[in-house]
Structure 1
């Protein structure tokens, strides 16, 4: 009985507390340091251009929600740069996890 409670607690911890973004990009002085996840080429090009014009350091995460995608920025990224990244974000450029049933 105890192992069932322990397995449930581990499952609950994994589902709630683990950070699972669809895309995670780390920037340093306007260039892409690391990226993990599906990064559409047009979005990458636009973000590199924004970083070239206005160098910034920080992290951008994209989460998949029921209502669409949510962008999350670190506090070191200025508000003006955040808005420019939101403006070029392709909301329908990300692949869905499951296939559509006919």
Structure 2
């Protein structure tokens, strides 16, 4: 009986505690060093261009919510760069899985 409770607790911890972004981009000194997930080619090219013109280090994560995609930036990325990445993000390429909030 105790093992059932432990398995349930581990399952709940995994569902809540594990970070599962749809897309993760890692930048270091103005270069895209690693990406995990489906990276649209135009978005990847735009991000590389932004990073090349204004070098920065940090991570960009894309999470899917009911309302659509949500971008999350690490603290190492300046606000101006964050806005430029938001401007080139293809919201149509990332479909939401739920109903849109009205």
TM-score between both structures, scaled by the size of structure 2: 0.89
User: What does residue range 34-73 of structure 1 map to in structure 2 within 5 Å?
Assistant: 34-73=34-73
Deviation at 1:92, TM superposition (A): 1.5
Q: How far apart, in 1, do the equivalents of 2:22 and 2:14 lie?
A: 16
Alignment gaps of 5+ in structure 1: 98-102
SS at match of 2:63: strand
Greater than 6 Å deviation, 4+ residue runs: none
Equivalent pairs counted in the alignment come to 97
Q: How far apart, in 2, do the equivalents of 1:8 and 1:67 lie?
A: 29
Q: How far apart, in 2, do the equivalents of 1:18 and 1:85 lie?
A: 25
Question: Which whole-Å deviations, capped at 9, do the CAs of 1:62-85 have from their partners, x for residues lacking one?
Answer: 111111111010001000000000
- The answer to whether the Cα contact below 8 Å between 2:69 and 2:96 also exists between their aligned partners in 1 is no
- The answer to whether the Cα contact below 8 Å between 2:24 and 2:62 also exists between their aligned partners in 1 is yes
Could you tell me which residue of structure 2 aligns to residue 16 of structure 1? 16
Tell me how large the CA RMSD over aligned residues is.
Answer: 1.3
Alignment gaps of 5+ in structure 2: 98-102
- The answer to whether the Cα contact below 8 Å between 2:66 and 2:96 also exists between their aligned partners in 1 is no
Deviation at 1:31, TM superposition (A): 0.9
